[in-house]
Amino acid sequence: MPQSLVATLIADPSKTGLSDAAIQRFAQALPGFVSSRWLDRGVAADLFLEASDLDAAREALRALALGEAIDVVVQPVEGRAKKLLIADMDSTLIGQECIDELAAEAGVGASVAAITERAMRGEIAFEPALRERVALLAGLPESVIARVLATRIALTPGARTLVQTMRARGGWIAIVSGGFTQFTGVIAARLGANEHRANTLIVDDGLLAGRVGEPILGRQAKLDALLDLMTRRALAQHETLAVGDGANDLAMLAAAGLGVAYRAKPAVAAAAHARVDHGDLTALLFAQGFSREEFVEG
């Protein structure tokens, strides 16, 4: 039986690469097309359609977008505005991997970055990979964390607007990271997030001990965090939004009402409900039906 779906087309906001002609081209190729509207002229638009198969509609629209710098998010119209955002931090809410930046300060940047890349692609298990990388940081002064936060870490474009807009509508924002509380606490404060969960770097006498607190927050813990937040806030699955980029985000993305792979590794992008490769994090607001005029700029 046909259901009401919405396909949100999103371009890089710095390039305003979405035209009326592109909207018309997508509309003409869509069986069941009903209507369209701009959310931000040149950047984002909704196309409404009636279709019986959500997965088939997603695949058809992704195929249409191949070769164009346009992200496509397809979902049911009903329930598209979310009440919970659960977000990865490293390479998602921020543009860096914190452990790689610490490793650069310790002079072992290349070794740690190589392990990080393999872990995020899902080629090696996250937990042992994290222990191995943290061991290489042993002896680094704890004070380096503050320096890395001040000089090496930057919020992803659109991140604060995403958080502030959702919070203004009563949404709950949780950072759930395989990184470290010494970083997530600061980033949560910068963004205005409600809470954060992460691993903890163990410190002895002002130096990193080369160990991480156990149990490690990995793939299962991210999923558990989503389920816990849904229960604690009495939310249905369709009211939740998750975003991340690495293999340890896969279970969390699959269990959310809408799981978005942001500039993600190939296996993650292929498995997620939606992927954002061109837009910034305000793409997650457009996906919820917000127009640019409704954004709360933090």
Catalytic residue positions?
88, 90
> Directed axis angle between helix 54-65 and helix 20-29, to 10°?
140
Residue 22 burial (CB < 10 Å; 0-12/13-18/19+)? middle
Alpha-carbon radius of gyration of the chain: 20
The torsion angles phi and psi of 94, rounded to 5 degrees, stand at: -120, 160
Provide the greatest CA pair distance for the chain: 66
Report the run of H or E that residue 168 belongs to, with start and end: helix 159-168
The Cα 295–Cα 285 span in angstroms is: 8
User: Which residue shows structure tokens 């156990």?
Assistant: 214
User: Which residue shows structure tokens 């392990």?
Assistant: 115
Q: Which residues pair with 5 in a beta bridge?
A: 49, 76
